[in-house]
Amino acid sequence: MKRIIMLILPVLVLAGLVVGGFVLMQALKPQPERAEEEPRGLSVFAEAAEIRDLSLTVKAQGEVKPKRQIVVAPQINGRISYVSPDFIDGGFIREGQVLVRLESEDYRLAIVRAQSGVASAEQRLAREEAEAELAQQDLEELGITETSPLARREPQLAEARASLDSAKAQLADAQLALNRTAVTAPFSGRVRERSADLGQYVGPGQSLGTIFATDVVEVSLPLSDEELGRVGLPLAFAESSTEKGPDVIFTANVAGQPRQWEGRIARTSAAINPQTRLVNAIAELKDPYGAGSDDGVPMAPGLFVNAEIEGRYIEGLVRVPRSALRGVDEVFIGDGPAGKLDIREVDVVYSDAEGAYVADGVEPGELAIISPIQAAFDGMTIQVVERMPDGELIQRTPRNKPDTDSEDEAALAAGDMDGVEQ
């Protein structure tokens, strides 16, 4: 028995020492401090809203067309005996210039025949006038006062006068036909194409070619109802001396070089296009081959151009980044000192890739949040970091223990959004 006790006693003493040491260590261990910092909110980037004036513009495209373009055609039959050297594709023509002349011999003969008819009618009228005068003298010598018009030869005299008028009309018609053997240009311009040549027999209305005036060209620009309002055009607009249309800048590449021309909206179309539901605004450019050209390069018909229409000018709007606009009319505003999210409804006047312009709902200097936020709600706790125009990042929400967030601060200072809690 004593031997067993001697064996067990050391084990018990050793176990007691281990347990006592563990209890002593636990008793002497310092208690951890409790953190009083509130849960940290979501870190978001924001940019300051700023006051801006807005000059609205509308972009459109269209094809250049001449304001006046006609098909050159004769009014009579005949064989072409002359073609102007300017009456070629691309030729310049002047108002009143003879483009084509038809053979005139037949029409000159017709004038001779008509002149002969006039002479015969004049001789007949003279004879009837003399006979009527003799008949009146005979009646007076016989003392007859009441006679019929036939006895006084009044119907015969009227017929002779009518015959003379008819003969003169035939002469005028023959002269007119002779004049029409020369086909002239009704305006100054250019020849688009020619479809007849020397020696060809043509008839009335047959196309000899196409010409267009170079004083004005126009471009039809299809606009939506919203775009009409942006440029301030009513549905039925026509430019007048008191009401000028919006300015238009046309651009296109010609011979590999960018070109620019300045025109003006002259009118809008009379009706809405039933297929596209758009309204055409007709822009005009005066003297495209002269003063309206770009360093001698004209805005020629057939050219496809881009157009930028000057719109309304609005002062005193507030601009926020385009990425700050949520949906149609909401902006998230970050209250930096309080670290809270404020969801605002705004009146958006216009937005593009650069920003959204609002008339109400945001004040200049407020921080518009540009970071994506899921399940956002009003009053949500956030950490606002302002991005300055030069790219610098500034922490706008104060922190209780900055040493615990050193990794986030390093990421913000480097401009790395992946290093910030999103």
Predicted confidence at residue 24, as pLDDT, reads: 67
**Residue (of 343, 342, 352, 349) closest to 316 by Cα position:** 349
Predicted confidence at residue 336, as pLDDT, reads: 86
pLDDT at 210 over 60: yes
Predicted confidence at residue 415, as pLDDT, reads: 45
CA atoms lying within 13 Å on the CB side of residue 420: 23
Predicted confidence at residue 145, as pLDDT, reads: 66
Q: Give residue 342's pLDDT band: very low, low, confident or very high (50, 70, 90).
A: very high
How far is the CA of 131 from the CAs of 125, 138, 180, 328, 371, in angstroms?
Answer: 10, 11, 41, 99, 113
C-alpha span between 153 and 236 (Å, rounded): 66
Do residues 401 and 38 touch, judged by C-beta distance below 8 A? Answer: no
pLDDT at 263 over 90: yes
pLDDT at 150 over 80: no
Predicted confidence at residue 328, as pLDDT, reads: 84
DSSP 294: B
pLDDT at 217 over 80: yes
C-alpha span between 329 and 320 (Å, rounded): 12
pLDDT in tens, 10-43: 766 677 666 666 666 766 666 666 555 556 678 8
C-alpha span between 357 and 362 (Å, rounded): 10
Q: What are phi and psi of 237, to 5 degrees?
A: -110, 140
Q: Give residue 5's pLDDT band: very low, low, confident or very high (50, 70, 90).
A: low
pLDDT winner (highest mean) among 37-51, 76-90, 150-164, 363-377? 76-90
Do residues 380 and 341 touch, judged by C-beta distance below 8 A? Answer: yes
C-alpha span between 36 and 233 (Å, rounded): 63
Cβ-based neighbours of 290, under 8 Å, separated by 6 or more: none
pLDDT at 324 over 50: yes
**Residue (of 57, 64, 60, 65) closest to 307 by Cα position:** 60
* Range 258-276 burial, b when 16+ CB lie within 10 A, else e: ebebebbbbbbbeeeeeee
Predicted confidence at residue 3, as pLDDT, reads: 65
Q: What percent of the chain has pLDDT over 90?
A: 50
Predicted confidence at residue 155, as pLDDT, reads: 82
C-alpha span between 262 and 297 (Å, rounded): 13
Q: Which of 142-156, 176-190, 265-279 has the lowest mean pLDDT?
A: 142-156
Per the listing, tokens 């305006």 go with 187
pLDDT at 403 over 60: no
**Residue (of 67, 168, 45, 64) closest to 118 by Cα position:** 168
Predicted confidence at residue 406, as pLDDT, reads: 41
Predicted confidence at residue 410, as pLDDT, reads: 37
Do residues 46 and 368 touch, judged by C-beta distance below 8 A? Answer: yes
Q: Which of 50-64, 124-138, 322-336, 347-361 has the lowest mean pLDDT?
A: 124-138
Mean of the per-residue pLDDT values of the chain = 85
pLDDT at 76 over 60: yes
Q: Which two tokens stand for residue 8?
A: 């067990």
C-alpha span between 387 and 246 (Å, rounded): 38
What is the SS3 assignment for 146?
A: coil
Strands (E), 232-322: 247-254, 257-268, 279-286, 304-321
DSSP 232: T
pLDDT at 151 over 70: no
Relative to beta strand 247-254, strand 257-268 is: antiparallel
**Residue (of 93, 98, 161) closest to 128 by Cα position:** 161
Relative to beta strand 382-387, strand 42-48 is: parallel
Q: Which of 93-107, 119-133, 161-175 has the lowest mean pLDDT?
A: 119-133
How far is the CA of 345 from the CAs of 226, 336, 361, 378, in angstroms?
Answer: 21, 19, 6, 12
pLDDT at 66 over 90: yes
Average pLDDT rounded to a whole number, residues 323-339: 89
H or E element at residue 180: none
pLDDT at 62 over 70: yes
Relative to beta strand 98-102, strand 78-83 is: antiparallel
- What pTM was estimated for this model as a whole? 0.67
- Got the DSSP string for 75-122? SS-EEEEEE-TT-STT-EE-TT-EEEEE--HHHHHHHHHHHHHHHHHH
Average pLDDT rounded to a whole number, residues 367-392: 89
Q: Which of 134-138, 207-211, 243-247, 272-276 has the lowest mean pLDDT?
A: 134-138
